[in-house]
Amino acid sequence: MSAATISAPVQAHSPDGRIGLRANLRHIGALARRNMLQIKQDPESMFDAVLMPIIFILLFTYVFGGSIAGKGNEKEYVNYLVPGLMAMMGMNIAMAVGTGVNDDFKKGVMDRFRTMPIARSSVLIAKIVVEVGRMLIACAILLTMGFILGLTVSTSVLHLLAAVALAMVFGASLMWIFILLGLAMKTPQAVQGVAMLILMPLQFGSSVFAPTARMPGWLEAFTDYNPLSNLADAARNLINGGPVAHSVWMTLGWSVAITVVTAPLAVAKFRSKT
């Protein structure tokens, strides 16, 4: 779907020039369809969402599982690992949003959108809507692989769905960070490089792959404030049972704070980028 395709319905706005909620939602829907058609035309762009969960769960289960849970107890490690990987999937897929936005600017697509009478935020929100869909696919594949390898849900299906929803909320908030990076950096390669500098400490300095009790004191203190640890712990307790209030509220707090700070900055950068 080209940018011209969404030009028909964009005239519905108030007399003072402000775009109403219904029109804004229509624009987001049209732009989201455009992004989904791009994926249909380029199915290779789904490889990360489809293959990454499979590779990660197999790799970490059989590389780390024996060392952490003891040889022969890899199935026990699966119950620890899968909730952590749910948290990590969001970060890795969120990175693709920044490179996609940067690439669209280089192709001139974003310049075309900015000439149209649509809310600037709708372009970015549509990106996030589609990427959340990719996250759901990745999460479904991850859980399927987890059940094959021995994952058990000690609570209920509702608790499992709550863990998935929490991962989606946090992942969506992270996308604003990577959109801002995509708008600030000159090339997709630069976006990926800076993103990896953010991802690596957060992923490995967390409780995603291993308990933090044996970490050095300074690193354990870092993991306590690492939002990825809070999300991993929340998802883990929702699935395996345990206290969830603190980690859930911390994750939601981080999600709100990240969105409140970075979303306006991303929209402002989108308006001013040349």
8 in a structural domain: no
Distance from chain centroid for Cα 160: 18
Task: Read off the pLDDT of residues 155-167 as tens digits, 9 standing for 90 and up.
Answer: 999 999 999 999 9
- How many C-beta atoms lie closer than 10 Å to residue 218's C-beta? 7
Local structure of residue 15 (DSSP, 8 states): T
* Distance (Å, whole) CA 32 – CA 47: 19
Distance from chain centroid for Cα 41: 22
- How many C-beta atoms lie closer than 10 Å to residue 61's C-beta? 23
236 in a structural domain: yes
13 in a structural domain: no
Which pTM value belongs to this model?
A: 0.83
Q: How far is CA 163 from CA 70, 88, 131, 209, 248, in A?
A: 27, 13, 18, 17, 9
- Return contacts of 8-13, CB within 8 angstroms, 24+ apart: 10/116, 10/117, 10/118, 11/117, 13/117
Confidence of residue 261 (pLDDT cuts 50, 70, 90): very high
1 in a structural domain: no
The HSE-up count of residue 186 (CA atoms within 13 Å, CB side) is 0
* Distance (Å, whole) CA 219 – CA 232: 17
Task: Read off the pLDDT of residues 191-231 as tens digits, 9 standing for 90 and up.
Answer: 888 888 888 888 888 888 888 877 788 888 888 888 999 99
Cβ neighbours for 25, distance < 8 A, ≥ 6 positions apart: none
9 in a structural domain: no
pLDDT of residue 273: 72
Distance from chain centroid for Cα 20: 28
**Residues 254 and 174: beta-carbon distance below 8 Å:** no
7 in a structural domain: no
Please tell me the total count of domains within the chain: 1
Domain range for 244 is 20-272
Task: Read off the pLDDT of residues 9-37 as tens digits, 9 standing for 90 and up.
Answer: 444 444 445 666 677 778 788 788 887 88
Buried/exposed code over 120-145 (b: 16+ C-beta within 10 A; e: otherwise)? bbbbbbbbbbbbbbbbbebbebbbeb
* Distance (Å, whole) CA 187 – CA 195: 12
Residue in the structure block whose two tokens are 């395709």:
5
61 in a structural domain: yes
Kindly state the average pLDDT of the residues 131-150.
92
Question: What is the chain's mean pLDDT, rounded?
Answer: 82
78 in a structural domain: yes
pLDDT of residue 2: 46
C-alpha dihedral sign at 201, 96, 180, 83: negative
